[in-house]
């Protein structure tokens, strides 16, 4: 089985929005077999907004790759890490 990330259109309370989902394919047929129920991203009002948000996330991850924070640390501990 192979996979990639694909944009899906959602309708939430009648409003159209977009999100990224992992999508899985049958290796023999190349057809979609399934996708993740929960999206990998937040919902965006447009495809361009979704892509812009993903580009910002990637830029932030690259920028802060050497100061990885700890989710269970205190604010003070994470501030020490972030200031290095």
Q: What is the pLDDT along the chain (84 residues), one digit of tens a residue?
A: 899 999 999 999 999 999 999 999 999 999 999 999 999 999 999 999 999 999 999 999 999 999 999 999 999 999 999 998
What's the confidence (pLDDT) of residue 1? 87
Provide the whole-model pTM: 0.84
Q: How many CB atoms lie within 10 A of CB 50?
A: 20
**Strand, coil or helix: 8:** strand
Domain spans of the chain, in order of start: 2-82
- The third-level CATH classification (topology) of the domain covering 2-82 is Double Stranded RNA Binding Domain (3.30.160)
Among 1, 9, 5, CA closest to 36 = 5
């Amino acid at each position: 089985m192979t996979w990639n990330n694909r944009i899906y259109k959602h309708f939430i309370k009648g409003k159209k929005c977009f999100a990224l989902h992992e999508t899985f394919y049958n290796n023999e047929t190349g057809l979609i077999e399934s996708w993740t129920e929960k999206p990998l991203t937040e919902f965006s009002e447009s495809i361009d907004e979704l892509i812009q948000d993903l580009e910002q996330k990637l830029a932030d991850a690259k920028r802060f790759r050497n100061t990885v924070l700890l989710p269970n640390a205190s604010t003070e501990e994470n501030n020490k890490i972030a200031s290095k």
